[in-house]
Structure 1
């Protein structure tokens, strides 16, 4: 059995898997902390060594695809939210690969969207997807990923961009207060500055004057132990709704809008009961247009691995 290597690398964690060429399932999945390895090739080799110890034939791996949380333009890749920098050509040669595909992680995640089953997503609000129309994607995690897929000649084409770094636009007086505080500290305030793990911390600091970590804020909001933490999470969800609505309008995403990333699935009922959908639709004269677009939370655990596998299939067929 010939195996190929798949990876989904974010600013915090690197998710690896092995898959038989042309298959749909994964032979092995492991999540490694990026901070535990000085370079990407160290993490790849650690995974492959571990998989070999688990009895998998990693010596024959010659094809690989990596989805990474960063723009991929040319041979040199330098991560925005982590210290890893590498040459695609040098990594391919160093690992002894015949094929190495490196793509933006949210472009890879977007490629999985048309194939998600009902049990791999949760509907948030109303709307009805239009078949064969563009699909949008947004996902807060270590940073803010934005992407989408558009139909093209019987296939789907993923859009790779850096939409998370568009300028943040406040909607309420409270958000103006947050923006003012962040202006003074950062100058340019992007959507990612609020819609990320660090963003939760910055929102809380602006509203409550406290320095808490994102996990602490989420935990205190979920257990009802802090009104200020609950307000922080509610503000986060509302801002996410506004930005998701912007993406849907920009792409004409009448095929649906998806929420990925590592933060939102942890919020549970705080998200499903939030103003996300209200703010998603709240676009004045275009509110009716957005009300017809469904929004889903991705619940599939490793969707970007499935997406990057589909992209590897495309270049090999």
Structure 2
């Protein structure tokens, strides 16, 4: 029996994986959890039946090194010693990229066909921003969200200056994520002097925008994300595709046709042709991290040692 977990800045997710499918899926807010010990006890209680996993893999939204981990964007921690079975931590984007073969995705740019023998890149656009590279069955985590953000338009330069007054360094994650959308909205409100009632997240407001003010925020986000994806295409030339994962990436699916996204993605002179040769997809699978974590434990990937 394989226990799979996926711990993000917003939610904790757990399930049992049988090699193809998930069962006994349970989800709760990360803010309600203190760490893996709490989660294991709560999962057992919520499932209501005796769970005796033989192996476990839990994906974490943050860097993984050694037997103890903590989240980058939430107060959550854990140790391998807390598990009742052999277990492994992996970066959440490593889990995501290992789950792609079992996930539904939609093409949004570049050629539709991928080179199945070429390397792939996963970009996690959720509460934060993550990145991973897959070559064959090997996956490698990156921390692309903490790379410096490079503005490419007048409005992005203004946003950069606004954030630079708040932070010592402006990162990709400060713009191209759920947190980034909040920053963009804060910037637009301060710049315009507009007052609006914020009953929901900036992402939800941008995603359903119909007025010019919120559409401006949507386009700042899309142009920034498109530029980052284009830069990734140039750096990696991943003909196995760039795969956008995460809750924000999925919610933005209807908007990837907007010129703000497509132009920022493609206008990478003198490398336009190379960027246009890279297939780009948005992953629709809700439980991609759980599937990937389950596959890692089930197939013994990512250095998992079978006991």
Question: For structure 1, which segment, 133-142 or 164-173, has the greater mean C-alpha deviation from structure 2 after superposition?
Answer: 133-142
1:310 and 2:301 aligned: no
1:264 and 2:260 aligned: no
Q: Distance in 2 between matches of 1:251 and 1:309?
A: 27
Write the deviation string for residues 58-78 of structure 1: whole angstroms up to 9, x where unpaired. Answer: 1x2232110010101112212
Corresponding position of 1:122? 106
* CA positional deviation for 1:219: 3.9
Judging changes above 3 Å, is the alpha-carbon distance between structure 1 residues 138 and 274 closer, same or farther for their aligned structure 2 residues?
Answer: farther
* CA positional deviation for 1:316: 5.2
Write the deviation string for residues 196-242 of structure 1: whole angstroms up to 9, x where unpaired. Answer: 22210111221232687694434444444532212111111111111
Corresponding position of 2:33? 37
Write the deviation string for residues 160-208 of structure 1: whole angstroms up to 9, x where unpaired. Answer: 1211100000000110000011111102000001112221011122123
Corresponding position of 1:112? 99
**5+ long unaligned stretches in structure 1:** none
1:248 and 2:244 aligned: no
CA contact (8 A) 1:6 1:305 kept: yes
TM-score when normalising by structure 2: 0.90
Give the alignment partner of residue 28 of structure 1, picking from 24, 28, 39.
Answer: 24
**5+ long unaligned stretches in structure 2:** none
Write the deviation string for residues 71-102 of structure 1: whole angstroms up to 9, x where unpaired. Answer: 011122121101112332x323xxx22x1111
Q: Distance in 2 between matches of 1:213 and 1:198?
A: 15
CA contact (8 A) 1:201 1:214 kept: no
CA contact (8 A) 2:230 2:264 kept: yes
DSSP-derived class of the 1:238 partner: helix
Corresponding position of 1:15? 13
CA contact (8 A) 2:2 2:294 kept: no
Cα RMSD (Å): 2.0
Write the deviation string for residues 109-148 of structure 1: whole angstroms up to 9, x where unpaired. Answer: 01122x146xx11110232422311111112211101112
Corresponding position of 2:56? 64
Judging changes above 3 Å, is the alpha-carbon distance between structure 1 residues 12 and 218 closer, same or farther for their aligned structure 2 residues?
Answer: closer
Corresponding position of 1:176? 157
* CA positional deviation for 1:247: 1.9
Q: Which has the higher contact order (CA 8 A, sep 6+)?
A: 2
Please show how residues 52-201 of structure 1 align to structure 2 within 5 Å: 53=48, 56-58=49-51, 60-88=52-80, 90-92=81-83, 96-97=84-85, 99-113=86-100, 115-116=101-102, 120-127=104-111, 128-151=113-136, 156-201=137-182
CA contact (8 A) 2:106 2:282 kept: yes
Q: Distance in 2 between matches of 1:176 and 1:68?
A: 32
Q: Distance in 2 between matches of 1:214 and 1:245?
A: 33
Judging changes above 3 Å, is the alpha-carbon distance between structure 1 residues 219 and 69 closer, same or farther for their aligned structure 2 residues?
Answer: closer
Write the deviation string for residues 40-69 of structure 1: whole angstroms up to 9, x where unpaired. Answer: 311221012211x1xx441x2232110010
> How many residue pairs are counted as aligned between the two chains?
297
